[in-house]
Each structure stands twice: as C-alpha cells, then as structure tokens.
C-alpha cells in the first residue's frame, strides 16, 4: 500500500469503503435465499481463485466473471454485490491484502450497478430468472453483461493509471481487446448457468459449467509455460552460438533488450514487440556461417574477408526461415546492416525502404557494440555512444530511431556490458573493421571526409 | 518407409473402422428416410453446427486433430430430449445420420479448401455420438421422450447426472478406439497407447462432454438459441488451445532451425541433424515410444551435435564416428551442458549426454540406465555418418553391415534391427 502514490491510495480507500458499505447494506436489503447465495459464492470463489497470467501487460483473466454474471442474473443486485466481495477477499494469497480488498470491492460495486441496470431493462425476467423467455430476455442480459465488464475494467484501469502514471488509453491498448473478447465470451457461460439453475438442474449445472472454464484455463496456462520454455531455449541456444566469440557474449540478448526499449518508446504494439525481441536475439545467428578464425581474427581484415562477414544477415535468414512465426523478424535480421543513405548491405536499401525492425535493430546493435568491450578497444561510455549515434543519424541510422533510443536510455538507463574489461587488452591487437561498429562500418565503403567519424581517426592513429 | 509391412497393417485397421462406420451410416440413413425425419429444423441446426465445427480444428500434442465444437454438438444432439419445452424423440439412426451428414459436409468443404480430413478421426466422431445416444436411451427414464419439460422439472438434476455419466463413458470408449487404431499393427501394447491417449485427450474430452451435456440441458428452455450462445465460449477454448498448439509448433521449428547451427558453422555435414532426427523418430515410433518420449527423442536427435560448437576446430567432415570415443563423449557432454542451460530440456540433455555410451561394455551386462533414446540416436547417427547423402542400396547395405558388426557392444541389437527394417522398406 505504501508503494502507491497518494492519489491512488485515496482512490483505493474510497472504492473499498463503498464496497464494504454496500455489503453491510446488502444484509438488510437482500431478498435472495441464503442457500442460493452460499452455493454461488462457493463456486465463484473456486473459479475466481483460478486466475491466469495471460501475458497481457496489466490484466490477468479471472474465470470468476461468468459466475459473477450469473449471480447478477439469479440474485438481486445487493446479493450479487455482496457475493463478489465474499469471493474476492478470500482468494489468491499471493496478492497483497489491499489489492484483494480493492478487487473484491470494485467487483461488488460493478455487480451491484449492473444488477440495478439489468432489473430496470425491458424484457428482463423477474428475480431468479424464473420466467426467462428466449430470445426476449437476451438484449437485457447482454446489456447487463457489457455494463458489468466495462465498469469492472474501468475501476481496474483507473487504479493502474493512478499508480503507474500511464494514460487510460495505453492501459486499454495493452490487450484490452483480447480481454474483452474472452471475458465476454466466457460471460455467456454465466447466462447458460442461470438458465440451467432455474430450469431444474440446480447446482449440478455449476459443476458442468466449471469444466469448460477450467479446461480453457489449463490451455492458457500451458501456453504460458510453453512460451517461457521457448524464450529460455532460444536464449540459451543463442548463448551457445556466442561462445564462438568471447567478446560478443551477451550481445544478442542486449540488442534484443535495447530494440524493445526503443520500440516501446515508439509505442509499438505488444505482439510486434515480442517479434522484435526475437529478431534482436537472432540478428547475428548467421555469423555462425562465418569461419571462426575471421570472427576472432586479430589483424585487419582484407576485402574478401569482409565480404564473407557481410553475408551473415542473409545466412541468418536462411537459418531461421523454417520458423513460420518469425515472418516479420526475418526482415529485421536480413536488413539490420542497411543504412538509411543506401550504402549498407546486403541489398543497399535506403530510408523508408528499410523495414522498421531492421532500422531499430541497426541502432540497438551499434549502441551495444560501442558500449561493450571488443578485442581491439575498451568500451565507450553510454554518453559517448549516444553522441556517436547522433552523429550518424540521417546517414547510417534513422534519426527517429536514434532519438527514440536516446530517450529510452535517458528515461530508463542502460546497464552496459563491461565484463571483459578485466581482461588485458593488447593494444597492438586491432581490428579496424568491426562489422557492428559505425566507425568500423564506414571503412568498408572507403571513407570520404564527411562520412568519416572522428573515432575512425582515433583508430587510424593507434595503428600508426 | 511408406510401404512398410506393419504400417500398412495399421492403415488396414483405419480403413476397416471407416468402412464399418460408413456402411452403418448408409443403413441408418435408409431407416431414417423410411420412418420420416423428426424435427427437421433441429436437424438442420445441428448439421450446420457440426459442419462448421469440423472446419474449426485444433491440433493437440502428438499430431492429434480435434474439433471441439463439432464433437460437442454431436454429443449434444445425441443427448437432446426437448426443444423449447416440447419433447423431441429422434431415433438413434437419425442421430447417426445427422452427425455423419454434418461431418461429411464439413469434410467436403475442407477437401475443397485443399485440406485432407483424417477419415479415422472423423469416423470416431460418429461412433462417439452413437455410443452416447444408445447408452442414454437405454438408461434415461422412459417418459422423458413424451412428457413436457414442466412436468418433470424437479427430476432434471438426475437427468443431468445421468448425462454426465454417459458422457464420461463415451469419452473412455472414444479414447480407447483412438488407442486401438493407433496401436494396431505396431509393436505397441494397447494399454500403453490408451494411457498416452487419455493423457493427451482427456482434458479436452471433459470440456467437450460437459458442453454437450449443457447443450442438451439448455435447449429445452433456450430453444435453438442455445447453439450460437454455446459456440462463443467453445470458440474461446479453441482459441486458447490453438495458441498452445502454435507455440508448440514454433518451438519445434526453432529447435529444427537452430539444430543447423553446427552445420552452418561447418562442424557437421549439411542436413545431418535433420536426417538423423526423422530416422530416429521413425525408429522410435516403431519401437513404441510414447508421444512425449518421441518429442524428446526428436529434439535430442536434432541437437545431438550441438556440443561440437564448443570445439575450436571442426572435426574433419563433421563425423563423430571417425574420432576417438573420448572425443565423442566430450562432444556429447558439451552438448548436454548447452541444452541443460535452457532449464526446460533436462530430459533431452540427459539423452544427448549419453549418446556416445556403448550398449554394453566388455564382459558386462547391457547398461539398464542407458536411455532407449540415446541408443537410438547412437545407431542412427552412426548410420547417417556412414551413408551420408548418398542413399544408394550398396552404401546402405554396407552401413547396416557395419552397425551389425558393432551390435555386440556398441549398438543395441533391437535398435539396429528396427533401423534395418525401416531402411530396407
């Protein structure tokens, strides 16, 4: 609770106070039978405890919503509200108490309000759903369901807005559509449950209703686990690949991280961010096709050698094009050495022709390369690397991407890799053409005075 | 491998099941037409729903296609006893016809779209509906088919419980049939396969069965409006399963792609990992490995040479066969270390770690702890090293002969035998 800003704390307290007051008033006002209330409350508790991490940024899907909706349909608004409170304050020990209390309260208020709305709508069957006629009652049920969902979501989104300092829109953007679809779809189970409950099947209906819900939950969970396994596997295989070159250890992971930071600054959608993460992870996988002796070579590279290094983006795509899921990532891998002035490789694309992913990775790649130690030089500071990126914005890099990375690094900092600096670096060991370093890059195309970076001169000076 | 003797026995069993079901459906159609169709509107709704459901398939682990919406609708129709308060008593022959018709329409559309529906899987859908319908009709109270719903409302909870029991039984029959079809003609015990089948399909069957029961119980009050309303949550479950299937596929594709790193790096001959894995999986299936073991075998086979990445200089030609056993064991251990760092492929790492171990040592009994997957990979990888990309009959025979010579100590005789049968076919 202390971790929340004052406004959020006040908001949470107000919602909880209203929720508790509602429950107290419910005892006096409700007309629902205790038996129905208790059975539904137990079911709601069971279902609601089984919430799932959907990998959406701000939400987890609770399987309790359908049962809460059926409570709205079967009980009066007071009882439905109280039921949500009872269910929510006892579940999921993993969450802090104030979150549970807030969740229970906001659900209670949402259930109560949508229950009031529902009973006022034309076509709504009387209390207990006993004289439900199809399809006459469907519009009222749907409206109540939508109201419940929207209220519930508004309360949650607002607390996120206050505590995380993001706008309501960006909260909803992070997966609201998918959530609305699934919550509302499963809400239909609440309707079916209400129909069967009053149709004579009674509480047995609830058991039948729980089966598909729990199976769906299981599938979501499996997905989540498999997804984690996938990330771990890709990461460690990439690490295995990087063992070939001591100095690029961790490079792929850091490029992935920097690319995602940059893209978040641009407001990229969640699913594309994930794809970009993989593109960053795999961008140099084609280097495996480059003979180890070239990658570890300590002297200057001749043209033929540099040409074979230049093949690595294409090689990389060849290697991963069996992975259908990575379609957009392939473009990022293939073109991450293109330059906005058209002097890059392999296709010499320029400006907007270069796929967005590639323009992002190019910046992240150079940034990490400059802030890491290489066999021929020690790491540059983050500020120096940023200056260098800015210098090359518009010729080598997309200015928009450079600005986004600079903003992201300034806002969130950058944990540069300086691990290998403890090693003794032999100053006589120099590679002039580092394929990721903007200064090294330029050498491949015959530097002209205006393109030559000041750092390039440093390198030259050291050689002589 | 396509004309292998035991595989074709399996095909025969599949064809037999499909033929019996098709003939049964034609007979049922005759009956139904002769006696007149009960409630054609309900028939049309369910045929439509089943047909649409057939188009919306998900793939469960182990290459098992499932169509939850079609399956739920089929079970729902088999148990249906009233629509909108009025009793509906369709004979079991009509149930068979409706499900078969729905399935046929759905499959036809799939064929037009260029997908080949699996006839044995589709036939199972019809069998499940018939089983559920027959058992329910034999056990349900007689007056269910004649009374109005309002007259026995209080007894509905017992009907619901009965339906749950019927569906559970149907699920067992269905999974047993699936296990029978899969195991027949192969060297796999039926009981073994049944356990595998239940592990993979019981969860979805519970959801499908429960939804079928809910459908049958809700139509008396919700009329046919129940059907579209039921589809929504089912579609979502389907969506969840599909995402699950998609990430599994991606995982497999990624392992396949990344298995090539050793080849692209010049450490191993091109295509070696891929050939070894497909041959190893074929051997594993013949030897009756379970679905999860097959997956581990496939991954281990794909990644078995990844340890070579840690070597500074590639082994000439990439073949691990020509180097000393010590070096081979080192590659295996290095590879296992790489795989172990994923944290999720421990079993695969174990298999890779022991791929270089001999079947048995001099004057010792075969090592019981040596995983069967490691023995398969050892033999298959050696075979591929010997044959290479040239698949001529002579090289094949030579390679097999060399493996056979090593059978006493290096290679597991059962694996070499199975490999010989598969390669010879």
pLDDT of A346? 87
Binned at pLDDT 50, 70 and 90, residue B169 comes out as very high
Structure tokens that stand for A447 in this block:
């530097």
How far off is chain A from B329, nearest CA to CA, in Å? Answer: 18
Structure tokens that stand for A197 in this block:
């409950």
Asked if B251 and A229 come within 8 Å (Cβ–Cβ), the reply is: yes
pLDDT of A429? 36
How far off is chain B from A352, nearest CA to CA, in Å? Answer: 30
Structure tokens that stand for A6 in this block:
């004052």
Whether B378 has a pLDDT exceeding 60, the answer reads yes
Structure tokens that stand for A438 in this block:
């903007």
- List residues bridging with B86 in a β-sheet: B83
B221 and chain A in contact, CB less than 8 A = yes
Structure tokens that stand for A370 in this block:
């400059």
Whether A122 has a pLDDT exceeding 60, the answer reads yes
pLDDT of B318? 55
Question: Which has the minimum average pLDDT: A68-77, A264-273, B390-399?
Answer: B390-399
Q: At a CB cut-off of 8 Å and minimum separation 6, what does A443 contact?
A: A432, A433, A456
Whether A443 has a pLDDT exceeding 60, the answer reads no
Asked if B264 and A289 come within 8 Å (Cβ–Cβ), the reply is: yes
Question: Which has the minimum average pLDDT: A5-14, B234-243, B295-304, B373-382?
Answer: B234-243
Whether B162 has a pLDDT exceeding 90, the answer reads yes
What is the average pLDDT across B317-321?
Answer: 56
Question: Which has the minimum average pLDDT: B4-18, B103-117, B310-324?
Answer: B310-324
Query: Which of A 213-232 lie inside 8 A of B, CB atoms?
Result: 213, 215-216, 218-220, 222-223, 226-230, 232
Asked if A134 and B225 come within 8 Å (Cβ–Cβ), the reply is: yes
Domain ranges of chain A: 6-221, 243-463
pLDDT of A441? 42
Name residue, tokens 């949500």: A84
Query: Which of B 84-123 lie inside 8 A of A, CB atoms?
Result: 84
A348 and chain B in contact, CB less than 8 A = no
A462 and chain B in contact, CB less than 8 A = no
What is the average pLDDT across B336-357?
Answer: 87
Q: At a CB cut-off of 8 Å and minimum separation 6, what does B93 contact?
A: B27, B28, B29, B31, B32, B35
Distance, in Å, from the CA atom of B262 to the CA atom of B114, rounded to the nearest integer, reads 37
Distance, in Å, from the CA atom of B96 to the CA atom of B47, rounded to the nearest integer, reads 11
- Using CA atoms, how far residue B267 sits from A128, B198, B262, B310, B319, in Å, is 72, 42, 5, 10, 9
More confident residue, A426 or A405: A405
DSSP letter, residue B391: -
ipTM for this model: 0.70
Whether B297 has a pLDDT exceeding 80, the answer reads yes
Instruction: List pLDDT tens digits, range A22-57.
Output: 999 988 888 888 888 888 888 888 777 766 555 544
Asked if B203 and A215 come within 8 Å (Cβ–Cβ), the reply is: yes
Binned at pLDDT 50, 70 and 90, residue A62 comes out as low
What is the average pLDDT across A422-446?
Answer: 44
Listed in sequence order, the DSSP H helices in A165-203 are: 168-173, 176-196
A315 and chain B in contact, CB less than 8 A = yes
* CATH superfamily, domain at A243-463: Hypothetical protein af1432 (1.10.3210.10)
Q: Which residue of B has its CA nearest to A187?
A: B233
Asked if A196 and B217 come within 8 Å (Cβ–Cβ), the reply is: yes
Spell out which residues of chain A touch residue B243, defining contact as CB-CB under 8 Å: 219-220, 223
pLDDT of A110? 93
What is the average pLDDT across A444-454?
Answer: 34
How far off is chain B from A161, nearest CA to CA, in Å? Answer: 29
Q: At a CB cut-off of 8 Å and minimum separation 6, what does A457 contact?
A: none
Distance, in Å, from the CA atom of A433 to the CA atom of B226, rounded to the nearest integer, reads 69
Which of B200, B211, B214 is the mutation pick for testing A, counting most A CBs within 10 A? B214
Question: What is the percent of chain A where pLDDT is above 90?
Answer: 17
Say what the pTM is.
Answer: 0.72
Top mean pLDDT of A52-56, B20-24, B288-292 is at B20-24
Distance, in Å, from the CA atom of A446 to the CA atom of B211, rounded to the nearest integer, reads 70
Structure tokens that stand for B347 in this block:
């079993």
pLDDT of A188? 84
Distance, in Å, from the CA atom of A117 to the CA atom of A390, rounded to the nearest integer, reads 57
Distance, in Å, from the CA atom of A65 to the CA atom of A181, rounded to the nearest integer, reads 13
Instruction: List pLDDT tens digits, range B171-206.
Output: 999 999 988 887 776 666 787 778 878 887 888 888
pLDDT of A52? 59
Distance, in Å, from the CA atom of A335 to the CA atom of A311, rounded to the nearest integer, reads 11
Distance, in Å, from the CA atom of A354 to the CA atom of A357, rounded to the nearest integer, reads 8
Whether B342 has a pLDDT exceeding 90, the answer reads no
pLDDT of A256? 92
Distance, in Å, from the CA atom of B425 to the CA atom of B421, rounded to the nearest integer, reads 6
By Cβ distance, the residue of B160, B253, B342 closest to A201 is B160
Question: What is the percent of chain A where pLDDT is above 70?
Answer: 78
Asked if B247 and A223 come within 8 Å (Cβ–Cβ), the reply is: yes
Domain ranges of chain B: 5-241, 252-424
Instruction: List pLDDT tens digits, range A316-344.
Output: 888 788 787 778 888 889 999 999 998 88
Binned at pLDDT 50, 70 and 90, residue A115 comes out as very high
* CATH superfamily, domain at B252-424: Hypothetical protein af1432 (1.10.3210.10)
The mean pLDDT value of chain B amounts to 83
Instruction: List pLDDT tens digits, range A258-279.
Output: 999 999 888 887 778 888 998 9
pLDDT of B182? 79
B148 and chain A in contact, CB less than 8 A = no
B19 and chain A in contact, CB less than 8 A = no
A300 and chain B in contact, CB less than 8 A = no
Distance, in Å, from the CA atom of B129 to the CA atom of B77, rounded to the nearest integer, reads 8
Question: Which has the minimum average pLDDT: A416-420, B241-245, B377-381?
Answer: A416-420
Distance, in Å, from the CA atom of B274 to the CA atom of B259, rounded to the nearest integer, reads 8
pLDDT of A455? 34
A131 and chain B in contact, CB less than 8 A = no
What is the average pLDDT across A160-177?
Answer: 73
The burial class, CB within 10 Å (0-12 / 13-18 / 19+), for A452 is middle
- If DSSP codes are grouped into helix, strand and coil, which group holds residue B113? coil
How many CB atoms sit inside 10 A of residue A348's CB? Answer: 12
Asked if B264 and A315 come within 8 Å (Cβ–Cβ), the reply is: yes
DSSP letters for B276-308:
HHHHHHHHHHHTT--HHHHHHHHHHHHHTTGGG
What is the average pLDDT across B293-313?
Answer: 83
Question: For residue A337, is the peptide bond before it cis, meaning its omega torsion is within 30 degrees of 0?
Answer: no
Distance, in Å, from the CA atom of A237 to the CA atom of B348, rounded to the nearest integer, reads 14
Under a CB-based contact definition with an 8 Å cutoff, are residues A133 and A199 in contact? no
- If DSSP codes are grouped into helix, strand and coil, which group holds residue B66? strand
Question: What is the percent of chain B where pLDDT is above 70?
Answer: 91
Binned at pLDDT 50, 70 and 90, residue B316 comes out as low
Q: At a CB cut-off of 8 Å and minimum separation 6, what does B177 contact?
A: B17, B124, B127
- Using CA atoms, how far residue A165 sits from A106, A159, A160, A452, in Å, is 20, 9, 7, 43
Structure tokens that stand for B296 in this block:
């581990």
Distance, in Å, from the CA atom of A406 to the CA atom of A363, rounded to the nearest integer, reads 10
Which of B148, B233, B253 is the mutation pick for testing A, counting most A CBs within 10 A? B233
A212 and chain B in contact, CB less than 8 A = yes
pLDDT of A449? 31
Instruction: List pLDDT tens digits, range B200-231.
Output: 788 888 888 988 999 998 888 888 888 888 88
Spell out which residues of chain B touch residue A132, defining contact as CB-CB under 8 Å: 221
pLDDT of A442? 39
Query: Which of B 161-190 lie inside 8 A of A, CB atoms?
Result: 161, 164
**CATH 1.10.1760 is held by the domain A6-221:** yes
Under a CB-based contact definition with an 8 Å cutoff, are residues B59 and B244 in contact? no
Fold match flag (A6-221 vs A243-463): no
Structure tokens that stand for A116 in this block:
């009031």
Spell out which residues of chain A touch residue B250, defining contact as CB-CB under 8 Å: 230, 323-325
Whether B119 has a pLDDT exceeding 60, the answer reads yes
Closest CA to B397 of B375, B420, B417: B420
DSSP letters for B309-364:
GGSSSPPGGG-SSSS-HHHHHHHHHHHHHHHHTTSS-HHHHHHHHTTTS-SS-TTS
pLDDT of B183? 77
The mean pLDDT value of chain A amounts to 78
């Amino acid at each position: 609770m202390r971790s929340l800003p004052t406004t959020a704390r006040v908001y949470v307290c107000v919602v909880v106070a209203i929720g508790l007051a509602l429950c107290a008033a419910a005892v006096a006002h409700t007309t629902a039978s205790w038996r129905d209330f208790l059975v539904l409350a137990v079911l709601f508790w069971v279902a609601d405890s089984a919430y799932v991490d959907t990998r959406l940024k701000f939400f987890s899907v609770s399987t309790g919503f359908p049962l809460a909706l059926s409570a709205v349909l079967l009980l009066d608004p007071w009882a439905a509200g109280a039921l949500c409170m009872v269910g929510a304050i006892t579940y999921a020990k993993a969450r802090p108490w104030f979150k549970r209390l807030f969740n229970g309260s906001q659900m209670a208020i949402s259930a109560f309000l949508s229950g009031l709305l529902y009973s006022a709508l034309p076509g709504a069957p009387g209390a207990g759903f006993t004289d439900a006629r199809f399809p006459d009652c469907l519009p009222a049920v749907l409206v109540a369901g939508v109201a419940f969902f929207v209220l519930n979501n508004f309360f949650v989104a607002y607390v996120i807005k206050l505590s995380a300092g993001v706008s309501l829109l960006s909260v909803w953007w992070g997966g609201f559509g998918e959530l609305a679809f699934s919550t509302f779809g499963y809400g239909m189970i609440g309707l079916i449950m209400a129909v069967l409950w009053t149709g004579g099947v009674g509480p047995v209906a609830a058991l039948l209703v729980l089966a598909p819900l729990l199976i769906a939950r299981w599938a979501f969970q499996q997905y989540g686990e498999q997804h984690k396994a996938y990330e771990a596997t890709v990461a460690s295989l990439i690490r295995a690949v990087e063992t070939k070159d001591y100095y690029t250890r961790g490079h792929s992971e850091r490029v992935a991280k920097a690319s995602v930071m940059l893209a978040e600054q641009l407001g990229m959608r969640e699913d594309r961010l994930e794809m970009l993460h993989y593109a960053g992870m795999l961008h140099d996988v084609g280097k495996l096709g480059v003979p180890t002796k070239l990658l570890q070579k300590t002297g200057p590279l001749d043209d033929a050698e540099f040409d074979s290094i230049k093949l690595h983006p294409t090689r990389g795509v060849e290697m991963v094009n069996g992975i259908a899921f990575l379609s957009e990532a392939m473009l990022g891998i293939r073109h991450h050495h293109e330059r906005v002035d058209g002097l890059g490789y392999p296709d010499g694309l320029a400006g907007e022709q270069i796929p967005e992913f590639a323009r992002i990775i190019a910046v992240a790649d150079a940034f990490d390369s400059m802030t890491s130690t290489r066999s021929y030089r020690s790491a540059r500071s983050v500020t120096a690397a940023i200056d260098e990126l800015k210098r090359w914005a518009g010729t080598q890099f997309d200015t928009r991407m450079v600005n986004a990375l600079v903003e992201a690094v300034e806002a969130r900092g950058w944990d540069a890799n300086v691990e290998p600096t403890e090693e003794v670096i032999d100053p006589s060991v120099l590679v002039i053409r580092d394929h990721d370093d903007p200064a090294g890059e330029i050498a491949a195309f015959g530097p002209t005075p205006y393109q030559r970076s000041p750092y390039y001169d440093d390198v030259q000076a050291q050689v002589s | 491998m396509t004309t292998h003797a035991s595989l074709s026995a399996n095909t025969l069993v599949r064809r037999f099941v499909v033929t019996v079901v098709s003939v049964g459906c034609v007979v049922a159609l005759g009956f139904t037409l002769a006696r007149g169709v009960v409630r054609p509107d309900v028939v049309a709704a369910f045929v439509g729903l089943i047909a649409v459901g057939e188009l919306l398939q998900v793939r469960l682990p182990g290459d098992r296609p499932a169509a939850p919406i079609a399956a739920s609708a089929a079970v729902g129709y088999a148990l249906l006893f009233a629509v909108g308060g009025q009793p509906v008593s369709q004979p079991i022959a009509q149930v068979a016809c409706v499900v078969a018709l729905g399935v046929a329409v759905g499959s036809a559309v799939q064929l037009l779209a260029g997908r080949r529906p699996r006839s044995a899987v589709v036939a199972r859908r019809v069998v499940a509906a018939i089983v559920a319908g027959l058992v329910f009709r034999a056990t349900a109270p007689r007056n269910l088919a004649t009374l109005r719903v309002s007259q026995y409302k209080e007894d509905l909870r017992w009907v619901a419980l009965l339906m749950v029991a019927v569906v559970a039984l149907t699920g067992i029959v269905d999974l047993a049939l699936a296990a029978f079809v899969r195991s027949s003609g192969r060297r796999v015990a039926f009981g073994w396969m049944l356990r595998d089948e239940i592990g993979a399909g019981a969860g979805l069957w519970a959801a499908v069965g429960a939804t079928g029961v809910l459908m049958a119980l809700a139509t008396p009050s919700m009329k046919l409006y129940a059907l579209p309303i039921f589809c929504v949550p089912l579609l979502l479950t389907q969506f969840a399963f599909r995402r699950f299937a998609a990430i599994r596929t991606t995982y497999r594709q990624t392992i396949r792609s990344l298995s090539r790193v050793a080849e692209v790096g010049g450490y191993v001959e091109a295509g070696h990992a891929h050939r070894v894995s497909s041959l190893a999986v074929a051997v594993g299936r013949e030897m009756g490995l379970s679905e999860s073991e097959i997956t581990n075998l496939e991954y281990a086979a794909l990644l078995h040479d990844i340890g070579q990445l840690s070597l500074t200089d590639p082994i000439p030609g990439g073949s691990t066969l020509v180097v000393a056993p010590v070096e081979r064991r080192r590659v295996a251990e290095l590879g296992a270390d790489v795989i172990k760092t994923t944290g999720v492929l421990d079993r695969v790492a174990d298999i890779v770690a022991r791929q270089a171990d001999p079947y048995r040592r001099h004057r010792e009994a075969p090592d019981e702890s040596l995983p069967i997957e490691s023995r398969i990979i050892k033999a298959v990888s050696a075979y591929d090293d010997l044959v290479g990309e040239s698949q001529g009959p002579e090289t094949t025979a030579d390679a097999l002969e060399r493996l056979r010579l090593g059978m006493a100590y290096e290679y597991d005789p059962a694996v070499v035998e199975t490999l010989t049968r598969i390669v010879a076919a």
